[in-house]
């Protein structure tokens, strides 16, 4: 069974993807993804076309960075095996295997090669509903903290008058 290893370097506005075969050869150019359904859908079409041509099973690895990984994970997890890696795992693998500056493209290729070698353990997530509740809870507590700070500043300014 051959695999098509796909690494996605996650960022705020756009992401870079790299497709690597089981021998480490990059397939095609880097693919840029936006945080939109149409971009993710066109990426999926490219992956399917390459997988059919290679007769390989696609599997995707990506960095779990902030909240930016979740939309892609949510859209692609129904179709592909998804592997989420901690950024420190990727950084450690890159330090051993890559010299020089880290770019989004190098990050995507590093993640694809991590999957090829099976270097780092996967980060597992229970289910999508639980993940969403955790994100909403974190956001709620962040807003609550900001509200407390705003009230404190307001009272300080009122006392100065």
What the block records as the tokens of 151 is 């009230």
The CA distance from 109 to 112, in Å, is 5
What the block records as the tokens of 132 is 């969403």
| Correct CATH for 3-125 of 3.30.420.40, 3.30.70.20, 3.30.70.270, 3.60.20.40 | 3.30.420.40
Q: What pLDDT digit, counting tens, does each position of 73-121 carry?
A: 888 888 888 888 877 767 666 665 555 556 767 778 877 777 777 755 5
The CA distance from 57 to 4, in Å, is 6
Q: What is the pLDDT of residue 100?
A: 56
Average of per-residue pLDDT across 56-65: 84
Average of per-residue pLDDT across 20-29: 84
Q: What pLDDT digit, counting tens, does each position of 110-148 carry?
A: 777 777 777 555 555 656 677 778 778 888 999 999 999
Work out the pLDDT band at 152, boundaries 50, 70, 90: very high
Average of per-residue pLDDT across 145-160: 92
**Which regions of the chain does DSSP assign to beta strands (E)?**
3-9, 14-20, 31-34, 57-63, 81-85
Q: What is the pLDDT of residue 142?
A: 93
Work out the pLDDT band at 151, boundaries 50, 70, 90: very high
Q: What is the pLDDT of residue 74?
A: 81
């Amino acid at each position: 069974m051959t695999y098509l290893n796909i690494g996605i370097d996650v960022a705020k506005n756009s992401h870079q993807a790299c497709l690597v075969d089981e021998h480490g050869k990059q397939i095609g150019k880097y693919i840029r993804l936006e945080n939109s359904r149409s971009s993710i859908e066109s990426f999926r079409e490219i992956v399917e076309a390459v997988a059919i041509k290679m007769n390989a099973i696609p599997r995707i690895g990506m960095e779990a960075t902030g909240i930016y990984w979740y939309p892609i994970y949510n859209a692609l997890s129904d179709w592909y095996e998804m592997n989420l890696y901690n950024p420190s795992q990727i950084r450690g693998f890159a330090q051993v295997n890559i010299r020089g500056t880290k770019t989004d493209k190098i990050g995507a290729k590093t993640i694809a090669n991590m999957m090829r070698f099976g270097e780092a353990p996967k980060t597992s997530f229970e289910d999508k509903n639980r993940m969403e509740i955790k994100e909403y809870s974190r956001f709620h507590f962040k807003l609550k903290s900001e509200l407390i700070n705003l009230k404190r500043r307001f009272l300080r300014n009122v006392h100065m008058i």
